[in-house]
Amino acid sequence: MKKHIVFFDIDGTLLDQHKKLPDSTKEAIKRLQENGHEAAIATGRAPFMFKELREELGIDTYVSYNGQYVVLNGKVIYKSPLDKRALEALTEKALEHDHPIVYMDAEDMKANVPDHDYINESISTLKIDQYPAHDPDYIGRELYQSLLFCVKGEEQPYVDQFEEFDFIRWHRVSVDILPAGGSKAEGIDRVIDENWHSF
C-alpha cells in the first residue's frame, strides 16, 4: 500500500468550534497512522500554541505560522523570519498611533506594551493558556509573525508603507503580520520536497 502524508488545519478541523479535540478526530488520526500514513498539521498558529495537541495526536511534522516555520519529523527544515528593520520601523509607527504589537518566535510571544484591552480580547479567543508578557526587546529575536492591534481600516497605512509584509485580519482588533508571499501551501511543498521518499 502506498504511504501518504495528510495535512490537517487546527481551527475548525482538528478542533471543533469550542476549540476542543473531539474523540472522533482522535480516533480518525489514530486509524490513519495505524494504516501506515503520516498525519501532519498546517496552521497559522505558532508552534507553542499547539504543542499539547501534537503530543496528544503523536504528530511531529507541521507547517506553522502559515508556512514560515516548518518542521519535519521533529526537525526544523525551513524558516522565513520577518524583516527585522522593517518590523522596527513598523513598531515606531504603531507606537505613535497607540497600536500595540505582539512579537512571536517559535517558543513564545511578547508584547511591546505592558497591557492592552485589544491584546487581551483577541488572544482570549484562541483558548490557549498563554498570554504575551511585556518585553519590547523581544523584537531582537528571530520572529516569524507579529500581531498588530487595531480596528478594521486602521491597518491600511501599514499595508501601504511596508511591502515586506502581508497583513491578514483574523480578529475584530487584530491583524497578522507575516513575511510577504508566504503560505501554508509553500510550507507543505517544503515538507514534500525535503523528504517525501521517507514517508
d(CA 135, CA 120): 16
Name the β-bridge partners of 179: 165
CB-based burial, 172-190: b 16+ in 10 Å, e otherwise:
ebbbbbbbeebebebbbeb
Q: Where are the beta strands (DSSP E) in 21-127?
A: 38-42, 62-64, 69-72, 75-79, 101-104, 109-111
d(CA 138, CA 191): 29
Contact 143, 105 (CB under 8 A): yes
From 9, 83, 108, 135, the catalytic residue: 9
Joined together, the cell numbers standing for residue 101 give 504589537
Catalytic-residue membership of 176 = no
Backbone CA torsion sign across 194, 168, 120, 88: positive
User: Active-site residue numbers?
Assistant: 9
